[in-house]
Amino acid sequence: MMNPIELKKAVGSGLLSFPVTHFDDQLTFDEAKYRRHVEWLSGFDAAALFAAGGTGEFFSLNPAEIPQVVRAAKASAGKTPIISGTGYGTSLAIEIAKAAEKAGADGLLLLPPYLMFAEQAGLIAHVKAVCQSVGIGVIVYNRDNAVLTAESIARLAEECPNLIGFKDGVGDVDKVIEITTLLGDRLVYVGGMPTHEVYAQAYFAAGVTTYSSAVFNFVPALAQRFYGALRTGDQATVDEILKSFFFPFVALRNRKKGYAVSIIKAGLRVLGQNPGPVRPPLTDLTQEELTLLEKIVQANGVSRIAAE
């Protein structure tokens, strides 16, 4: 496992992604297919992979399944760091965090606690308790009902040496600028909006130069090409890929609630891979929507042969 400083450096070095979690027809974790998928993704130079993250259906996995997913990812990812999801209430988040660390996770992504909105003091206590329960690096995910202020993040960074990252899923770039300006290089900053590529240029200007890419699951070469164009200032390529792939992809994703996850598994099916269905309460794409996604993928030169 990496120490927190090593993980921080790795996360900031390139594009990130979070593999979908494969299920069989009975919605049981399909470890063999998952391991093949992680092994395939690790060949496309991801800086780190998030196992059992949001796109990995963390919310539908039971606590015993999460370390199982982490162990499978670690066994298949080679030298690519594996960051496990954790979350829910403080006690359960600590339990999952410790189990993920024991399973070999290099770090943790702390997702929002279950349902409740809380004051800053409560959120600080929650994050601090999880950080202090493990020795590996922790990235806090700002979104939904867990939005920490710049002052709160600064306090946590001072009190928790293994808090190494801040991931934003809110989209208030002015707040992100406040955090990056206040904390400087104390943390690594990760973009975490749904299909973050359509927000990436604004975040780059705010000092957030890496992000987690969901589409990396099924078009990793295209995702890396887009990321490379962003990093080098190749605006023509950025605009081309936004118009030909990401804008129509987002329009399809926005058709129904929960499709931010479902459409990624559908992308793998388009390429002839079978990650299995999403678990309820999510729903899979319809056949019509799957056909539309296939046209988007094919229009960008991605074929089943290329995926294989």
CB count in 10 Å sphere of residue 232: 10
Q: How far apart are CA 258 and CA 78, in angstroms?
A: 31
54 three-class SS: coil
H helical segments located in the chain: 4-11, 31-41, 65-76, 90-102, 120-132, 150-159, 173-183, 200-205, 220-232, 235-241, 247-253, 259-270, 287-299, 304-307
Q: Which of 8, 167, 189, 203 is catalytic?
A: 167
Q: How far apart are CA 217 and CA 126, in angstroms?
A: 31
Angle at 146 between CA 29 and CA 56, to 5 degrees: 15
Tokens of 24: 């069989």
* Binding-site sequence positions for pyruvate: 55
Burial label for 43, CB within 10 Å (0-12, 13-18, 19+), is exposed
Q: Radius of gyration of the chain from Cα atoms?
A: 18
Catalytic residue check, 295: no
Burial label for 220, CB within 10 Å (0-12, 13-18, 19+), is buried
User: What does each C-alpha distance from 82 to 107, 137, 147, 168, 271 come to in angstroms?
Assistant: 7, 11, 25, 19, 25
Nearest to 217 by CA among 181, 262, 258: 262
* Binding-site sequence positions: 55
Q: Which of 33, 34, 74, 141 is catalytic?
A: 141
Q: Per DSSP, what are the bridge partners of residue 107?
A: 83, 137
Catalytic residue check, 167: yes
Angle, in degrees to the nearest 10, between helices 120-132 and 90-102:
30
Q: Which residues are catalytic?
A: 141, 167
